[in-house]
Structure 1
Amino acid sequence: MLHMTCKGKIHRARVTEANLDYVGSISIDEQLMEAASIRPFEMVQINGLRSAQTWQTYTIPAPYGSGEICVNGPPAHLFRVGDLVIILSVGFFTESDLERFQHRTVLVDEQNHLVDVKTYTRQSAHHIRGGEGK
């Protein structure tokens, strides 16, 4: 059996651009993608803190260290420049994969520059509650 699992996330990043005329996707600072174990063209879920909107799309790397978070195409109607978002990356894992699995939470500053990467295992997961994003 495969378990759908959040393998990484970028927590409380700010949308830097919303480009309605682009064909789709989300452009994410390549440094943040690497830190969250998100690969180019991988499907991600974008969650808006202001609007409670959720959108799924694929990723395109933006310049390394740029802080860019640009929603492209239809989600430009849902997310505005300055909105805080949580970007989730999902993977499918076997039970044995989950024994070695490490979830990554990427924390950023107000300009979307990398501040910290928190790594959690199945054994440490109970310590997450109340500690992230504060």
Structure 2
Amino acid sequence: MYRKLLKAKIHQAVITDKNLYYEGSLTLDREIMEKAGLLPFEAVWIYNLNNGARFETYLLEGEKGEVILNGAAARLGETGDRIIIVAYAWVADNELPYFKTRLLYLNEKNEVSQIKNL
């Protein structure tokens, strides 16, 4: 059996820009992606704390501090909104003892202030 578990959570990222006329995705600081164990083009869910929007998209590597909503997702948040970015993984029962969830907490400048591995 496989179970869908939280792989990574990036808590309280601040949207720095939006680009409506782009093909679609979330541009995210490459260092944050690396620390969260996420790859370019990996699927993620976005939860907007300001307006309650929840949507799925994929990641693109960005520059330091960047959190940019692209394409249709740009209509689901505003610059300055705080969001939670999550990725899930299907984990086989025999892999459960080795599976770890990574939590990253960001400050208002989108800098990693804390990392937890659970």
1:56 is matched with 56
Aligned residues: 118
Sequence identity (%): 34
Give the TM-score, by structure 1 length: 0.86
Q: C-alpha displacement at 1:36, in angstroms?
A: 1.1
Q: Which runs of 5+ in 2 are unaligned?
A: none
Q: C-alpha displacement at 1:97, in angstroms?
A: 1.4
Q: C-alpha displacement at 1:72, in angstroms?
A: 0.3
2:87 is matched with 89
CA distance in 2, matches of 1:42, 1:5: 15
Q: C-alpha displacement at 1:55, in angstroms?
A: 0.9
SS, match of residue 67 in structure 1: coil
Question: What amino acid sits opposite 2:62 in the alignment?
Answer: A
CA distance in 1, matches of 2:114, 2:60: 22
After superposition, residues 7-26 of structure 1 pair within 5 angstroms as 7-26=7-26
Q: Larger % of strand: which? A: 2
SS, match of residue 101 in structure 2: strand
After superposition, residues 1-134 of structure 1 pair within 5 angstroms as 1-63=1-63, 66-120=64-118
SS, match of residue 102 in structure 1: coil
CA distance in 2, matches of 1:90, 1:40: 15
CA distance in 2, matches of 1:98, 1:17: 38
Structure 1 ranges of 4+ moved more than 4 A: none
Structure of higher RCO (CA pairs closer than 8 Å, 6+ residues apart):
2
Question: What amino acid sits opposite 1:116 in the alignment?
Answer: Q
Q: C-alpha displacement at 1:14, in angstroms?
A: 0.3
CA distance in 2, matches of 1:87, 1:56: 10
